[in-house]
Amino acid sequence: MIRTAIVLIAAALLGGCFYSDDALIGRFAADFPLEDGVYTHTPNLPDGRPFDRPAWTGEIRRRGGRYVSDQPDFPHDGTRLRELSPGVYAAMREREDQYEYGIVFVYPGNVAAYHQPKCQDLDPAVLDTYDVVEHPDEPGYCRVDDWDRLSGVLLSYIAAFDGDIPIDGVYRRVE
């Protein structure tokens, strides 16, 4: 029960601040830097410290251009990745009839760390440059309309943090 609650809390915390009405990472544009296998997922606490044990373990595999799992409560079920730069990927998942985007860093040995960027962390001039607009009814949620704008915004976000982006959680392949 506690484990399920932790997984659901972690998934809720990953609500996207960058979103689109249409998928910006299509099935044939998706990249798959992680091998199929059994993974553990360890989310980080709000203060940045990792949780003291994995909150989820299960088999993850590629199907239909997405990463999926038959194991219940997979926090990132249906995620697609597309490379932004070597080892750095945009992540997309569908949620409530829209698509949300995050950043994933992939390391050797099938390890992936992820971060959910927040549009309010970017200089408004960057948002203006890429014509990214805040949702009229949900402050802090910014709509991105195409891949070029999304990749520009995410790369600008990474540059703004000067390599010190907070990590929201980690997946590690264990089998």
Per residue in 95-120, pLDDT tens?
A: 888 999 999 999 999 999 999 999 98
Q: Is the pLDDT of residue 136 over 90?
A: no
Q: Are 141 and 17 in contact (CB under 8 A)?
A: yes
The predicted structure's pLDDT at residue 125:
94
pLDDT range class, residue 137, cuts 50, 70, 90? confident
| pLDDT score, position 174 | 97
Res 3: pLDDT: 43
- Nearest by Cα to 115 from 127, 133, 101: 101
Q: What is the pLDDT confidence band of residue 138, given thresholds at 50, 70 and 90?
A: confident
Which spans in 16-164 are helix H? Answer: 124-129, 147-160
Residues of the chain with pLDDT > 90: what percent?
A: 77
Strand partners of residue 39: 58, 173
Confidence band of 48 (pLDDT split at 50, 70, 90): confident
Per DSSP (E only), the strands in 14-118 are 18-20, 37-43, 56-63, 66-68, 80-85, 88-95, 98-107, 111-115
**Residue, of 135 and 86, whose pLDDT is higher:** 86
Does the pLDDT at position 2 exceed 80? Answer: no
Instruction: Give me the torsion for CA of 135, 141, 142, 144, rounded to 10°.
Output: -100
Asked whether the beta carbons of 171 and 111 are under 8 A apart, the reply is yes
- Using 50, 70 and 90 to split pLDDT, how confident is the model at 71? very high
With a cut of 70, say whether residue 72 has pLDDT above it: yes
H or E segment and range at residue 13: helix 2-13
Q: Would you state the pLDDT for residue 89?
A: 98
Coil, strand or helix at 87: coil
Q: What is the mean pLDDT of residues 27-38?
A: 97
